[in-house]
């Protein structure tokens, strides 16, 4: 594996764990607001982000690369409205997409085809993550001001269950 690619993947492990922290922080915000469905959705999202980190961790190990774990930053977002965390999540997912795209680009430049194939799943996953975030914002814009509709949206989000990724390394 190309050294630059290995370094970027190591850094991305940290970013994925930070994503989990951010989503737990968002879940905590919604729990305080009495929106257990929103909290559930982001708790599941945090588990997904942890899995993403572990997939990269295992990929590096399986390719004979050393994994270096760094400190995970504390989330620093302040949320005032019910919409704030949704917009922060979309912004964060777009940022993660840019990071994945950067790693992919470097892997392509270095002709590290195994890593580009590995990252194909993450590219697709980021498309889904951004769409989910945009959908939540759209629904909140449509229904968030009506308490009955917000209750229904909260119930919809409460139904989300965790499903581990099935990516073969």
Domain ranges across the chain: 3-69+87-158
Token pair in block for residue 74:
């504390």
Q: Is a pLDDT exceeding 80 seen at residue 166?
A: no
Q: How many residues does the chain have?
A: 169
Angle 16-17-18 from CA coordinates, rounded to 5°: 90
Residue 145's pLDDT band, with cuts at 50, 70 and 90, is: confident
This prediction's pTM: 0.93
Token pair in block for residue 115:
């890593």
CATH topology of domain 3-69+87-158: Ferritin (1.20.1260)
H or E stretch at 165? none
Q: How far is CA 98 from CA 93, 105, 108, 123, 130, in A?
A: 9, 10, 15, 10, 12
In the chain, which residue ranges form alpha helices assigned H by DSSP? 3-32, 36-62, 84-109, 113-143, 147-158
Residue whose C-alpha is closest to residue 45's, from 69, 26, 72, 31: 26
H or E stretch at 46? helix 36-62
Q: Is a pLDDT exceeding 90 seen at residue 43?
A: yes
What mean pLDDT comes out for the span 5-23?
98
Token pair in block for residue 11:
């850094």
Query: Distance between CA 10 and CA 7 in Å, rounded?
Result: 5
Burial class (CB in 10 A: 0-12, 13-18, 19+), 154: buried
Q: Is a pLDDT exceeding 70 seen at residue 80?
A: yes
């Amino acid at each position: 594996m190309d050294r630059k690619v290995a370094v970027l993947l190591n850094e991305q492990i940290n970013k994925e764990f930070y994503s989990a922290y951010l989503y737990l922080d968002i879940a905590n915000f919604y729990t305080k607001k009495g929106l257990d469905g929103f909290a559930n959705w982001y708790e599941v999202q945090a588990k997904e982000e942890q899995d993403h980190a572990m997939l990269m961790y295992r990929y590096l190990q399986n390719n004979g690369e050393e994994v270096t774990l760094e400190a995970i930053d504390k989330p620093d977002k302040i949320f005032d409205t019910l919409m704030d965390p949704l917009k922060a999540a979309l912004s964060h997912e777009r940022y993660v997409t840019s990071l994945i795209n950067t790693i992919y680009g470097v892997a392509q430049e270095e002709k590290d085809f195994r890593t580009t194939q590995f990252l194909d799943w993450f590219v697709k996953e980021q498309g889904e993550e951004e769409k989910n975030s945009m959908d939540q914002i759209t629904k909140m814009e449509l229904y968030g001001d009506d308490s009955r509709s917000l209750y229904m949206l909260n119930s919809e989000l409460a139904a989300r269950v965790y499903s581990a990724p099935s990516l073969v390394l």
